[in-house]
């Protein structure tokens, strides 16, 4: 049973979706609303709602509606990116139609282990390039993935050493006191 506090389902127009994609790209360009892991910080949905209201007067798109649409777009984008990735064979990208192309059997087998990809075969996804700019770095994929053996973050080559001019205070107070009671 639906809660009465929920907004009615929003049917996105092409203009609204294009405005959302454009606004997302502007947020990425502006900086300041992304965390170190390339995901958006709190408050970005309200900012997007304001941007959408400015771009498309009369559009009644709320932050929760935007959140729902972004989750859908992100899920579709990552599914397509996985199918286009170097470790996946049998899929092609039709740049003219902006869709994934594959034999039906290959696609159906893929969907068994990747249910988020359901319905994406031959389905146009015109904003793939823009969304790769927005979502492309929020998770490691393909050739950029490193195992713990590949990571060289502890390699000191190329770094100059420095002398610490202070002695660290290592005199810590105990966090708890042992209370052993002796029973006579």
- Convert the pLDDT of each residue in 44-103 to its tens digit: 888 889 999 999 888 888 888 999 999 999 999 999 999 998 888 899 999 999 999 999
Q: What is the pLDDT at residue 165?
A: 43
Q: Measured between alpha carbons, how far is 78 from 117 in angstroms, rounded to an integer?
A: 9
Q: Is residue 129 part of a domain?
A: yes
Q: What is the pLDDT at residue 82?
A: 94
Question: Per-residue confidence at 153, pLDDT binned at 50, 70, 90?
Answer: very low
Q: Is residue 157 part of a domain?
A: no
pLDDT tens-digit series, residues 124-139: 999 999 999 888 765 4
Q: Which residues pair with 99 in a beta bridge?
A: 94
Is 145 a residue whose pLDDT tops 90?
no
Q: For residue 116, what is the DSSP state?
A: G
Is 166 a residue whose pLDDT tops 70?
no
Domain count, the chain: 1
Q: Is residue 52 part of a domain?
A: yes
Average pLDDT, the chain: 75
Q: Measured between alpha carbons, how far is 159 from 161 in angstroms, rounded to an integer?
A: 6
Q: Is residue 48 part of a domain?
A: yes
Q: Is residue 118 part of a domain?
A: yes
Q: Measured between alpha carbons, how far is 111 from 88 in angstroms, rounded to an integer?
A: 13
Supply the range of the domain harboring residue 74.
Answer: 14-136
Q: Is residue 149 part of a domain?
A: no
* Distances from the Cα of 130 to the Cα of 3, 25, 43, 58, 136, angstroms: 35, 7, 22, 25, 9
């Amino acid at each position: 049973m639906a809660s009465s506090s929920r907004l009615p389902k929003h049917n996105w127009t092409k203009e609204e979706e294009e405005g959302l994609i454009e606004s997302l790209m502007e947020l990425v360009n502006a900086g300041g609303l992304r965390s170190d892991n390339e995901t958006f910080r709190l408050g970005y949905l309200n900012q997007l709602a304001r941007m959408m209201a400015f771009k498309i007067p009369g559009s009644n798109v709320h932050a929760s509606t935007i959140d729902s649409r972004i989750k859908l777009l992100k899920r579709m984008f990552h599914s397509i990116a996985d199918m286009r990735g170097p470790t996946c064979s049998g899929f092609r990208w039709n740049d003219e139609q902006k869709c994934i192309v594959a034999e039906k059997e290959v696609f159906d087998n893929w969907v068994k282990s990747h249910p988020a990809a359901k319905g994406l075969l031959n389905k146009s996804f015109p904003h793939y390039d823009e969304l790769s700019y927005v979502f492309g770095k929020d998770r490691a994929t393909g050739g950029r993935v490193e195992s713990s053996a590949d990571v060289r973050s502890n390699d000191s080559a190329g770094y100059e050493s420095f002398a610490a001019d202070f002695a660290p205070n290592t005199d810590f107070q105990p966090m708890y006191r042992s209370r052993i009671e002796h029973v006579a």
